[in-house]
């Protein structure tokens, strides 16, 4: 791991170990209210959509290059929102599960996966802090 990767790793490690979310950010209703607006922006703002898809593709390429996303593997996308990462990961992995607090986001994610012709992605509405990844497969 080079210096930049280590800095990124440590940043995300701290976020995971010392979460400090605002109370509204852990409220499914907050994300349900934002879901339609978020997806509408992805559909209507082509520059925003292009930037988001570029970020998704770069992340997937990063994981593939390091052997962390490969054919036949399973993956878990925590906080998957409208499913952009989940669907991209499913293009490589054997099975991907996307989880998010918001049931409305899960509706959008399922619809996005169908439109993209991806059938090896599952979506569940749940709080990642209470999720049991082993039970999800």
State both tokens at 14: 């701290």
- Report residue 26's pLDDT band, with 50, 70 and 90 as the boundaries: confident
The runs of H, that is alpha helices, within the chain are: 3-17, 28-44, 46-65, 84-90, 103-115, 133-136
CA distance linking residue 87 with residue 24, whole number of Å: 27
Interval 69-73 mean pLDDT: 93
pLDDT above 70: residue 121: yes
The predicted model gives 29-58 an average pLDDT of 92
Top pLDDT among 4 and 8 is at: 8
The H or E element spanning position 67 is none
Cα-Cα-Cα-Cα dihedral of 24, 25, 26, 27, to 10°? 50
Q: What is the pLDDT of residue 64?
A: 94
Q: Nearest to residue 60, comparing CAs of 25, 84, 26?
A: 84
Token code pair at residue 81:
């929102």
Q: What is the pLDDT of residue 28?
A: 83
**Whole-model pTM?**
0.79
């Amino acid at each position: 791991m080079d210096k930049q990767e280590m800095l990124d790793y440590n940043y995300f490690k701290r976020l995971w170990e010392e979460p400090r979310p605002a109370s509204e950010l852990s409220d499914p209703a907050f994300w349900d209210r934002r879901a339609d607006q978020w997806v509408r922006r992805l559909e209507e703002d082509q520059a925003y959509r292009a930037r988001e898809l570029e970020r998704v593709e770069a992340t997937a390429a990063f994981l593939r290059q390091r052997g962390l996303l490969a054919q036949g593997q399973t993956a878990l996308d925590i906080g998957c929102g409208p499913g952009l990462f989940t669907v991209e990961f499913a293009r490589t992995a054997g099975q991907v599960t996307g989880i998010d607090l918001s049931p409305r986001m899960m509706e959008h994610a399922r619809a996005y996966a169908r439109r993209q012709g991806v059938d090896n992605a599952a979506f569940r509405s749940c709080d990642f802090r209470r999720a049991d990844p082993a039970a999800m497969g």
